[in-house]
Amino acid sequence: MPEPPSQKLVDAYGDELLSLLQKHWDNEHIDFVAPLKFLGAGEENLVYEFVLDDPDNVTGWGGTAIIARIPHAGRGDNNHHLARVQYALNEMDAPAPRAIYVGSFDDGTSVIVMEKMRGLHLPTMGCLTVIMLTFLLMVFWWFDTSPLWLVFAIWVLVIGTLSYPGIMMRRIHRLDPAEFRQHYVDAGGAPERLSVGTYIDGLRSWSLENGLPELIPGVDWLEQHCPQIDEKVVCHGDCHPFNILMSKTGAASLVDWDSAVIAPREYDIAWLQQIYRFFPHAEPEMSPLARLACIVGRGLLLLVLRPITMTYNIGIRVDRKRLRYFEALHMICWLNLLKRNTTKEENLEADASVDSDDWARYTASQMKQSFFERTGVTLVTNEPEPKSS
């Protein structure tokens, strides 16, 4: 985890950001801060929010809420990739935030400025709807309406909320991958950056950086068995309920396109299934009550996982062998995420309990077992042999 930035650095980057945008539009009568707000330091970026105050709409973005991302020093640069992806998506009128500007500071640090999407996360929207629906049905129940309607309505709503990512997948999978790739290249991107092979290479280096050499045999297997097929689609790479925003008008948008690739549709489906299977055990900061809720929630998710998958698969042929391959691929990613999220420094910052590491180890063991079932490769930690007395 990167160290929290100093207030001096936050202020300096904020001033330079506004100066950069002022030069970009070359109009001294435009105010870019109303006000500038530092949202915090994420895993990869410093994030700022502000409103573009442009009463004459010289920029075409007057009054728009803006998000700016500035990468941490030494954390790599994903901003230009994201900018190119969003440029391609904007050209194709896809459900994604609009990219406004991408540039660099004097020290070479890149910055991407994009529209802030307005709305509620899908699970939040679902919870609010459940509360409202429960209240209304309790009123009906008071007037001798069968309580089974309450159970049925909530169950249908839960199924609908959890299956909505599948609906969004079908929408983005209809985008023309050749057109998407061309727009990406037109924006200065290298086409191989959108390939699964490049993603696997990244998993190899990431595993070594995280001190997980036991994952390398798994990465080797993934490289040797990577499916070579012609049918590919635009994949979001991280499509799950918390990356779907619902606006007041009911329109839905997908955010966080950093992991976008051109791959078989099973790439996205496998990621969503892994989210539903393992996500409740992947957060070390959970309180005991939240963990209990996650245990119950995970059981319910497993019960409805097959109907959710079938909701997506209606009318679409999904190759089960490819699906299992991409499930294995995403498990390597998840094992790295577990390692990153349970470092000693993060546990101290989050005031997490000691057993958060035990929780992560349990989840990791489940993933390694699932990986073995799909590939026949055993991911074993190379523990040092005990010294003989």
Which helix (H) or strand (E) is 206 found in, with range? Answer: helix 196-209
Residue 176 lies in a domain: yes
The domain boundary, picked from 81, 115, 149, lies at 115
Residue 81 belongs to a domain with what CATH number? 3.30.200.20
- Residue 200's pLDDT is 93
343: Cα separation from own chain's centroid: 21
Q: 203 and 325 share a domain?
A: yes
Residue 368 lies in a domain: yes
Residues in the chain with pLDDT values less than 70: 1-5, 26-37, 39-44, 53-64, 73-77, 119-163, 248-251, 279-316, 341-360, 381-389
- Residue 308's pLDDT is 54
Q: Are 61 and 52 spatial neighbours (Cβ–Cβ below 8 Å)?
A: yes
SS3 of residue 235 by DSSP: strand
The domain boundary, picked from 93, 115, 137, lies at 115
Q: 220 and 314 share a domain?
A: yes
Q: What is the pLDDT of residues 364-385, one digit of tens each?
A: 888 898 899 888 988 876 544 4
- Residue 249's pLDDT is 61
- Residue 164 corresponds to which tokens in the numbers above? 């909505």
Q: Are 116 and 49 spatial neighbours (Cβ–Cβ below 8 Å)?
A: yes
pTM score? 0.76
Q: 54 and 178 share a domain?
A: no
The domain boundary, picked from 85, 115, 145, lies at 115
- Residue 388's pLDDT is 42
Residue 151 lies in a domain: no
- Residue 81's pLDDT is 83
Q: 207 and 308 share a domain?
A: yes
- Residue 94 corresponds to which tokens in the numbers above? 């896809």
Which helix (H) or strand (E) is 201 found in, with range? Answer: helix 196-209
- Residue 153's pLDDT is 62
- CA–CA separation, 110 vs 55, rounded Å? 28
Residue 382 lies in a domain: no
- CA–CA separation, 156 vs 114, rounded Å? 35
Residue 278 lies in a domain: yes
Q: 337 and 210 share a domain?
A: yes
Residue 67 lies in a domain: yes
Q: 204 and 319 share a domain?
A: yes
- Residue 260's pLDDT is 92
Residue 361 belongs to a domain with what CATH number? 3.90.1200
- Residue 355's pLDDT is 44
Report the half-sphere exposure of 113 (CA within 13 A, side-chain side). 22
Which one, of 261, 216, 207, lies nearest residue 239 by Cα?
A: 261
Residue 353 lies in a domain: yes
By CB atoms closer than 10 A (0-12, 13-18, 19+), residue 6 is exposed
- CA–CA separation, 63 vs 34, rounded Å? 9
Looking at the structure of the chain, the number of domains it has is 2
Q: 189 and 105 share a domain?
A: no
Q: What is the pLDDT of residues 136-167, one digit of tens each?
A: 666 666 665 556 666 666 666 666 666 677 77
Q: 86 and 213 share a domain?
A: no
Q: Which amino acid is at 291?
A: R
- CA–CA separation, 156 vs 194, rounded Å? 37
Q: 82 and 181 share a domain?
A: no
Q: 104 and 190 share a domain?
A: no
Q: Are 176 and 84 spatial neighbours (Cβ–Cβ below 8 Å)?
A: no
Residue 210 lies in a domain: yes
Q: 254 and 352 share a domain?
A: yes
Domain that holds residue 59: 22-115
Q: 62 and 193 share a domain?
A: no
